[in-house]
Amino acid sequence: MKKILKSYIDSHITDLHQNDCGAINFFEDENIKYVDIEWCDGFTAFNLNKVLNLIKEKGKITKNDLREYCN
């Protein structure tokens, strides 16, 4: 399931480049699910439900979209 979810998220990020790893880890903290997305310059944890909702709303998303709406 995590492999499918990783692929789904990665396929919707338009500015994910070959040196970026994309979604690498899923975890839960205080009943909130998160996804770590690794870029070539580091990684960031995003609220998984917000990421999935943003993809549903916009279709394709960017790193800036994630930073603005999913922290």
| pLDDT given for residue 41 in this prediction | 87
Give me 60's structure tokens: 């394709």
Secondary structure (3-state) at 21: coil
- pTM, rounded to two decimals: 0.91
Query: Residues 6 or more apart from 65 whose CB is under 8 A from it?
Result: 54, 58
pLDDT (tens digit per residue) in 27-46 = 999 999 999 999 988 889 99
The mean per-residue pLDDT over the stretch 12-19 comes to 92
Top-confidence residue, 41 or 49: 49
What is the β-pairing status of strands 42-47 and 32-39?
antiparallel
In the chain, how many domains are there? 1
| pLDDT given for residue 2 in this prediction | 85
Domain range for residue 35?
Answer: 2-69
The mean per-residue pLDDT over the stretch 51-57 comes to 97
